[in-house]
Structure 1
Amino acid sequence: MNTPLHGSAKWLRLAAIGGGLAALAGTFAYAAGWIGTQPLTPQRIIDTFEAQAGQHPGYRKNHAKGLCVSGQFLGNGQAATLSTARVFSQARVPVIGRFAIGGANPFAPDTAVPTRSLALELRSDDGQVWRTGMNNPPVLAVSTAQGFYDQVLAGTPDPATGKPDPARQQAFFAAHPESAAWRQWAASYKASNSFANTAYNSINAFVLVNADGKRQPVRWQLVPQTPFQPLPGQVSDPQFLQHDLQQRLALGPLRWTLRLTLAEPGDAVDDPAKPWPAERRSVDAGTLVLEQVDGPEQGACRDLNFDPLILPSGIQASADPILAARSAAYAVSFDRRSRETLSTGARP
């Protein structure tokens, strides 16, 4: 886990991979009012995002560039003994989703940002709603609010180069040994050539509750059924990932396996920086089938707030404080872009 990285190029690579998550981490910390001499609100962090990326009315204030998709989740019943959530026992659950890249710039080239995300809404036939936002890293780099703040500061671009200072990045990671698992992932990360063959992780833990009231902490991952292929060395199309997804879905549906990893006593349920042992038992709960693209920021996903605390009966939040902070920041972003759309008529 403590594989060292040497050289400024590697530190800059870590900075690039961590940029989207560091910005998101900063959102969490500011949103919860955890840092600074005065409480910092979700409104202020959204102001900060806009100050850095510019004004983009009607767009999300992080993961701003994305496109809407739709399909269904095919539950196989294997998780029904773990949770009463209807999504695990219903044969077909309609899904609205959104693929995106990290950051607040809706015009960034698709391959310029290593962070990729997939957000979903599943609406079961009992009227329950489950929303989840997932990212390609399996863990965060830090465990605490102060760590989040330190990471944001370490990733601040140097005005002379427009890039983070490698020495500052190195000092940050040296001061945060809990980042070892994330650094190991980042050092070995190889970008795929598609949203379709990327795995997406909940990062935070949640708790499944079954009919007997038994509680089981889990993390989940969407494992692609599309084979991995590396991202080309040179990409000129700024919409590369979006165009690729449209082309693939024109040929047929794309599939991911929903894999639930079950925590055991002593596992770090409330610490998103700590991985769980690889030998932990997992349950494949069903298959996500995405069938069509509804258009970049058009279609049903445009007006959805993918708040991770919108959960059905049978799935509960863990005590990870990041979850509440995410929810607060997402609400501010949603309210602001909704007002912008109404006042300007902007429909990205």
Structure 2
Amino acid sequence: MTTSSLSTGQKIARLALVGAIPLALVLLLLWAGGWLTPQRLSANNLVAVLQQSGGEHPGYRRNHAKGVCVIGNFISNGNASAISRAALFAPGTTPVIGRFAIAGGNPNAPDYAVPVRSMALAFRLADGEQWRTGMNALPFFPVATVDGFYDQQVASMPDPATGKPNPEKMKAFVTKHPEAKAFMAWVKQYVPSSSWANDRFNSLNAFRFIDKAGNAHLVRWSMVPQTGYQPISAQDKNDKNFLQDDLKQRLAQGPLKWDLVITVAQPGDVSNDASKAWPVDRQTINAGTLVLDRTVPQQQGPCNDINYDPLILPNGIAASDDPLLNARSAAYAKSYNLRTHEQAKQSGGSL
């Protein structure tokens, strides 16, 4: 049927359909940004509460603002290729650009004042794909949901009168999100390490490895240090940048190494709740060794322009149904857009 043979009513209907497509796209974008449902917890809300907690520091990430770039390689031993068809798990070497950081939005915070540390990595595969992952030196996440993370940030903000979180607000937060009790108990007995080099970093969120036959395997992963653990010392607390200084000294003496250990779930293990650790008897696979040999200040380093979005995944790795993953991805994108725009303005350029 040609356009000329259509009735007037059919022409109007077709025009309405064509016009509805861009309108739907606009509505989708507005919804994603939280404009149509302001009560919904959006990336804007998450970034705003992080900025409120850490203060305004233009040009920096809204969380994990203080950090350094690291450069090295991942040397795969081929063991993980049995459960994932991702090219980086075949025997061989993959270049890596990473970043060590401490939690929070203040790039000037003393290293010793922030016990939560992170390792972010971008694996650059030979075929052009990338695997980006952000891990934390925690055994499990404090909360199970996006709302819980938001409520935690609000409850833990210092009271202007005392400079410390309001106990009543923290009590109400734990009552609303009881899974946080396990994390609070862990924090009380936790002694931070003396170095990024001897920290173990965990994915916390679950993912799915897809093998060559198309079968899915629920997994989490960890970077397990080959450097022995040592607790933070009183001397470390005299240097606000002791983690960065320590890293420079260690790398001047030689590369630092971690084993990439994949933990494989069993039926019944949760896939959508990062606040629950899996039993310690689960199968583990040593997939290879991360070797870091150089560090560079973040503002001038290659990690500065990388958004370590946990959903940038190669063929052979897929997201699970953990709700925190989509929230992290959206918040990371929002933070990235804000800081790169600010950096461009600071340098006199434009985006």
TM-score calculated relative to the size of structure 2: 0.85
If asked which structure has higher relative contact order (CA below 8 Å, sep 6+), I would say 1
1:191 and 1:32 map into 2 onto residues whose CA distance is 37
DSSP 3-state at the match of 2:198: coil
CA displacement 1:146-181 (0-9 Å, x = unmatched): 433432332121221111133443453355332343
Give the deviation of 1:310 after TM superposition. Answer: 0.2
Q: 1:47 to 1:271 in 2, by over 3 A?
A: closer
Identity %: 51
Q: 1:314 to 1:301 in 2, by over 3 A?
A: same
| 1:311 counterpart = 2:313 | yes
Report if aligned partners of 1:57, 1:346 keep a CA contact under 8 Å in 2: no
1:46 and 1:182 map into 2 onto residues whose CA distance is 23
Report if aligned partners of 2:81, 2:89 keep a CA contact under 8 Å in 1: yes
1:144 and 1:293 map into 2 onto residues whose CA distance is 34
| Alignment-derived partner of residue 25 in structure 2 | none
DSSP 3-state at the match of 1:301: coil
Q: Which amino acid aligns with 1:187?
A: K
User: Looking at CA atoms only, which structure, 1 or 2, has the larger radius of gyration?
Assistant: 2
Q: 1:282 to 1:248 in 2, by over 3 A?
A: same
2:263 and 2:213 map into 1 onto residues whose CA distance is 20
Give the deviation of 1:126 after TM superposition. Answer: 1.9
Match of 2:269 among 267, 270, 274: 267
2:113 and 2:313 map into 1 onto residues whose CA distance is 32
2:153 and 2:342 map into 1 onto residues whose CA distance is 27
| 1:203 counterpart = 2:204 | yes
DSSP 3-state at the match of 1:161: coil
Residues 123-162 of structure 1: pairs in structure 2 closer than 5 A: 123-162=124-163
DSSP 3-state at the match of 2:196: coil
| Alignment-derived partner of residue 163 in structure 1 | 164
DSSP 3-state at the match of 2:303: helix
CA displacement 1:60-113 (0-9 Å, x = unmatched): 111100000100001011100100001111411100000000000111111111
1:52 and 1:269 map into 2 onto residues whose CA distance is 29
CA displacement 1:291-336 (0-9 Å, x = unmatched): 0102233221010000000000000000111101111110011111
Q: Which amino acid aligns with 2:271?
A: V
CA displacement 1:195-243 (0-9 Å, x = unmatched): 0000101010000000011110100011111011110135121111000
Q: 1:55 to 1:146 in 2, by over 3 A?
A: closer
CA displacement 1:103-130 (0-9 Å, x = unmatched): 0011111111111000000011122100
Q: CA RMSD in A?
A: 2.0
Deviating above 4 A after TM superposition, structure 1's stretches of 4 or more consecutive aligned residues are none
Match of 2:254 among 237, 252, 264: 252
Query: Which ranges of structure 2 fall in alignment gaps of 5 or more residues?
Result: 1-31
TM-score calculated relative to the size of structure 1: 0.85
Give the deviation of 1:50 after TM superposition. Answer: 3.2
DSSP 3-state at the match of 1:261: strand
Residues 168-179 of structure 1: pairs in structure 2 closer than 5 A: 168-179=169-180
DSSP 3-state at the match of 1:177: coil
Report if aligned partners of 2:63, 2:104 keep a CA contact under 8 Å in 1: yes
Report if aligned partners of 2:145, 2:324 keep a CA contact under 8 Å in 1: no
Q: 1:344 to 1:37 in 2, by over 3 A?
A: closer
| Alignment-derived partner of residue 288 in structure 1 | 290
Choose 184-193 or 319-328, whichever is displaced more: 184-193
DSSP 3-state at the match of 2:64: coil
Q: 1:142 to 1:111 in 2, by over 3 A?
A: same
DSSP 3-state at the match of 2:122: strand
DSSP 3-state at the match of 1:293: strand
Query: Which ranges of structure 1 fall in alignment gaps of 5 or more residues?
Result: 1-30
Report if aligned partners of 1:206, 1:219 keep a CA contact under 8 Å in 2: yes
2:174 and 2:80 map into 1 onto residues whose CA distance is 38
Give the deviation of 1:37 after TM superposition. Answer: 6.3
2:299 and 2:154 map into 1 onto residues whose CA distance is 31
Report if aligned partners of 2:146, 2:327 keep a CA contact under 8 Å in 1: no
Choose 110-119 or 50-59, whichever is displaced more: 50-59
Match of 2:299 among 297, 302, 307: 297
| 1:38 counterpart = 2:47 | no
1:183 and 1:278 map into 2 onto residues whose CA distance is 20
1:274 and 1:346 map into 2 onto residues whose CA distance is 47
Report if aligned partners of 1:137, 1:185 keep a CA contact under 8 Å in 2: no
Give the deviation of 1:271 after TM superposition. Answer: 0.7
| 1:276 counterpart = 2:283 | no
Give the deviation of 1:184 after TM superposition. Answer: 3.8
DSSP 3-state at the match of 1:266: coil
Report if aligned partners of 1:90, 1:124 keep a CA contact under 8 Å in 2: no
